[in-house]
A and B are shown apart, each in its own frame.
Chain A
Amino acid sequence: EPEVTQTPSHQVTQMGQEVILRCVPISNHLYFYWYRQILGQKVEFLVSFYNNEISEKSEIFDDQFSVERPDGSNFTLKIRSTKLEDSAMYFCASSYPDRGLNTEAFFGQGTRLTVV
Chain B
Amino acid sequence: AQTVTQSQPEMSVQEAETVTLSCTYDTSESDYYLFWYKQPPSRQMILVIRQEAYKQQNATENRFSVNFQKAAKSFSLKISDSQLGDAAMYFCAYSGGGADGLTFGKGTHLIIQP
Contact = CB atoms under 8 A, between A and B. Distances in A.
Which of A43, A97, A104, A106 gathers the greatest number of chain B CB atoms within 10 Å? A43
Contacts of B41: none
B91 A43 contact: yes
B71 interface: no
Interface of B is mostly: loop
A42 B101 contact: no
B62 to A, nearest CB: 16
A48 interface: yes
Interface string A45-58: 11111100001101
Which range holds the interface residue count of chain B?
A: 20 to 34
B17 interface: no
B72 interface: no
Given A89-B43, A107-B44, A55 B98 contact: yes
Contacts of B104: 42-45
B31 interface: yes
Interface in A20-49: 31, 33, 35, 37, 41-49
B35 A48 contact: no
A102 B95 contact: yes
A45 B1 CA distance: 13
B101 to A, nearest CB: 3
Contacts of B47: 104-106
A6 to B, nearest CB: 10
A56 B101 contact: yes
Contacts of A49: 99
Nearest to A44: B104
B106 interface: yes
Contact of A35 (B35, B50, B97, B101): B101
Interface of A: 31, 33, 35, 37, 41-50, 55-56, 58, 89, 91, 93, 97, 100-110
25 contacts: A31-B99, A35-B102, A42-B106, A42-B107, A43-B93, A44-B104, A45-B104, A48-B99, A48-B101, A55-B99, A56-B99, A56-B101, A58-B101, A91-B45, A93-B45, A102-B100, A103-B33, A103-B50, A104-B33, A104-B35, A107-B37, A107-B45, A109-B43, A110-B44, A110-B45
